Chains A and B, each alone.
Chain A
Amino acid sequence: MQNYKLAWRNLWRNRRRTMITSASVFFAIFFALLMRSLQTGSYAYMYRNVIESYSGYVQLQGENWWDEKTIDNSFPYTSEVRDWLLGDENVDDVIPRLESFALAAGGQNTKGVMVLGIDPEKESLLSNIKSRVVQYKLTPEAIASLVNEPSIPDKTKKLLPVYENACFSGDERLLSDLGLDKNKAEEYIPILKKYAGFRGDPIAPGKPGVWLGEKLASYLELYPGDTLVLLSQGYHGSTAAGKYEIKGLIKLPTSEISGSVVYLPFDIAQQLYNSGQNLTSVVLHLKDNEDKSLKSTIERLSETAPPGTRLIDWYEMNDVIIQQMEADNVSGMFMIGILYLVIAFGIFGTVLMMTAERRREFGVLVAIGMQKKKLAAVMSYEMLYIGLLGILIGALICIPIILFGVHHPIVFKGELAHMMEEYDFEPKLVFASINLYFLWQILVVLFMVFLSLIHPLRKIMKLQVVHALRA
Chain B
Amino acid sequence: MLTLSLTSLAQTGLSAADIIKKADDKFNGEESGIAVMAMTVVRPTWERTIEFKSWNKGTENSLTLITAPAREKGQTFLKRDNEMWTWNPSISRLIKLPPSMMSQGWMGSDYTNDDILHESSLVRDYTHEIVGEEVIEGRNCYKIKMTAKEDAAVIWGYQVRWIDKKDFLFLKAELYDEDGYLIRTETGSDIRQMDGRLIPTRIELIPADEEGQKTIVQIKEIKFNAPMEDSFFSQQNMKRIR
Give the shortest distance, in Å, between B10 (CB) and chain A (any CB): 50
Q: How far is the CA of A230 from the CA of B88 in the complex (A)?
A: 11
Interface string of A197-229 (1 = CB under 8 A from B): 000000000000000000000000000000001
User: Given that A105-B93, A229-B91, A229-B93 are contacting pairs, would A239 and B72 also be in contact in the complex, using a CB cutoff of 8 Å?
Assistant: yes
Q: Select one of B43, B91, B95, B109 contacting A243, CB under 8 A.
A: B91
Give the shortest distance, in Å, between A164 (CB) and chain B (any CB): 33
Contact between A237 and B93 (Cβ–Cβ < 8 Å)? no
List residues of chain A with CB within 8 A of the CB of B109.
Answer: 237
Number of A positions contacting B (CB below 8 A): 14
Q: Select one of A231, A233, A237, A238 contacting B91, CB under 8 A.
A: A231
Q: How far is the CA of A239 from the CA of B106 in the complex (A)?
A: 10
- Interface status of A242 (Cβ within 8 A of chain B): yes
The dominant DSSP class at the B interface is loop
Q: Which residues from 184 to 215 on chain B have a C-beta closer than 8 Å to any C-beta of chain A?
A: none
- Interface status of B166 (Cβ within 8 A of chain A): no
Contact between A233 and B108 (Cβ–Cβ < 8 Å)? yes
Contact between A236 and B43 (Cβ–Cβ < 8 Å)? yes
- Interface status of A274 (Cβ within 8 A of chain B): yes
List residues of chain B with CB within 8 A of the CB of A231.
Answer: 88, 91, 93, 95
List residues of chain B with CB within 8 A of the CB of A236.
Answer: 41, 43, 46, 48, 108
User: Given that A231-B88, A242-B91 are contacting pairs, would A237 and B71 also be in contact in the complex, using a CB cutoff of 8 Å?
Assistant: no
From B43, B75, B88, B105, name the one whose CB has the most chain A CB atoms within 10 angstroms: B88
Contact between B90 and A242 (Cβ–Cβ < 8 Å)? yes
Q: How far is the CA of A243 from the CA of B88 in the complex (A)?
A: 11
Contact between A238 and B108 (Cβ–Cβ < 8 Å)? yes
List residues of chain B with CB within 8 A of the CB of A242.
Answer: 90-91
Q: Which residues from 264 to 308 on chain A have a C-beta closer than 8 Å to any C-beta of chain B?
A: 274
Give the shortest distance, in Å, between B84 (CB) and chain A (any CB): 15
- Interface status of B116 (Cβ within 8 A of chain A): no
Give the shortest distance, in Å, between B51 (CB) and chain A (any CB): 14
List residues of chain A with CB within 8 A of the CB of B93.
Answer: 105, 229, 231, 241
Q: How far is the CA of A236 from the CA of B105 in the complex (A)?
A: 12
Give the shortest distance, in Å, between B112 (CB) and chain A (any CB): 13
List residues of chain B with CB within 8 A of the CB of A233.
Answer: 104, 108
List 17 A-B pairs, Cβ < 8 Å. A105-B93, A229-B91, A230-B91, A231-B93, A236-B43, A236-B108, A237-B48, A237-B105, A237-B109, A239-B71, A239-B72, A239-B88, A241-B90, A241-B91, A242-B90, A242-B91, A243-B92
Chain A interface residues (CB < 8 Å from chain B):
72, 105, 229-231, 233, 236-239, 241-243, 274
Closest 10 CB pairs of A and B: A237-B108, A241-B91, A241-B88, A243-B91, A229-B91, A241-B90, A236-B46, A236-B48, A239-B72, A237-B41
